[in-house]
Structure 1
């Protein structure tokens, strides 16, 4: 048994179990989160509990080969070395994550006094168009699924109801995004996604031209056949053959 565990009361044991499950599920615990009830940032109780029992939790996760780290500047407690525990991000969620990191860095560079950044869905879509990362409009189901994953891992929080005034919906970007991607990684991945979309567009254009040529060729053949005189087709206007008999042989 780990030192200090037996000294915990029943309520603290339950909180400890909750914190462990939460970290394994979402990897990150931000120090402060947006509370919709109060409309402002509030201290996170699980972060506070984890901070007070950091030594015990560090030893606990170390047994499983997982490192528990704390970034006091950003206000984040998080797990490292959890390969295989997380889930694979859908393509749209990955694109949003890259663009949100880009927006986060740009706004932080503008001398932000907070580690949290606020953007809008319209601004995010504008970035997607700027880098030509999305070929066409995504369905609401795809968009919600992408953001549900980003919210689960403490990357973002919606400040408004998502269905209403979609383009103006405010999105808070948590500093956890800094621990997922470096700026250099973002630029490289954005380039690869952009090249992929361009390749798809070129392939689509080539297919369109090829299909157009086929259709034109078929139309040309039809026009040539329609220009033939009856005698050139070995049938006169009344359906008789060249020897004067009709097709029935009479």
Structure 2
């Protein structure tokens, strides 16, 4: 297997290694990435590396118990399989990811080919309207969610995560569908509403109305 790398130039062999590392770090590689500030598309060199060296990469990651999936419709390469790295999302990050998926769905369904952009302000508004965010989140919680989504190619944004403000444009990629399906949305919303109802009931028991 490694004879294949030895037959490549030093530069190209290093590009293949870095592409494999990127796959395991971020789960998927998109063909086109966007600058959310200008909406300028640019080709992703690592996608071309995946396409050119697909056979070798497939064999390599198969040894590690994973599979390389090419989604021709979405124009991405992604990892699959029982042994692929798993991200343990916190409850807050899961909720924010769910809200981003809801916004993406509304953008695509309601505005056709218009860019699926959002902002922290809009995510908070969706959280309030769906009752999925019932308290003020800390900056650390927002940064954790944004960092993970950016790392896994779910969103893109101008500059560093720490510099994101309320109205900073956040570009949502269709890869959000890989992490949260329509069925997941309905199930999670129902789950969180049930948990909220249970919490409110518990509060009523602990703090009964003294006027009665």
TM-score by length of 2: 0.88
| 1:69–1:80 contact (8 Å) kept in structure 2 | yes
1:101 paired with 2:109, answer: no
1:133 deviation in Å? 1.2
**Equivalent residues in 2 for 1:140-155 (5 A)?**
140-155=139-154
Match of 1:156 in 2: 155
Paired residues, number: 212
1:163 deviation in Å? 6.7
Structure 2 unaligned residues grouped into runs of 5+ = none
Match of 1:56 in 2: 56
Which range is displaced more, 66-75 or 160-169? Answer: 160-169
Distance 1:172 1:36, change over 3 A: closer
Structure 1 unaligned residues grouped into runs of 5+ = 214-250
CA offsets 1:121-180 (integer angstroms, 9 cap, x no match): 222111111111123101111111121111111111124776778332221111111222
Match of 1:8 in 2: 8
**Equivalent residues in 2 for 1:60-71 (5 A)?**
60-71=60-71
**Equivalent residues in 2 for 1:1-250 (5 A)?**
1=1, 4-35=4-35, 40-83=40-83, 85-110=85-110, 112-113=112-113, 117-159=116-158, 166-209=165-208
1:54 deviation in Å? 1.2
| 2:30–2:77 contact (8 Å) kept in structure 1 | yes
1:36 deviation in Å? 6.8
CA distance in 1, matches of 2:36, 2:172: 15
Distance 1:82 1:154, change over 3 A: farther
Distance 1:123 1:153, change over 3 A: same
Larger Rg computed on CA atoms: 1
| 1:66–1:82 contact (8 Å) kept in structure 2 | yes
Which range is displaced more, 151-160 or 65-74? Answer: 151-160
Distance 1:65 1:150, change over 3 A: same
Query: Which secondary structure state, in structure 2, belongs to the residue aligned with residue 169 of structure 1?
Result: coil
1:38 deviation in Å? 6.8
The structure whose RCO (Cα within 8 Å, separation 6+) is larger is: 2
1:195 deviation in Å? 1.7
RMSD: 2.6
Query: Which secondary structure state, in structure 1, belongs to the residue aligned with residue 136 of structure 2?
Result: coil
1:12 deviation in Å? 0.9
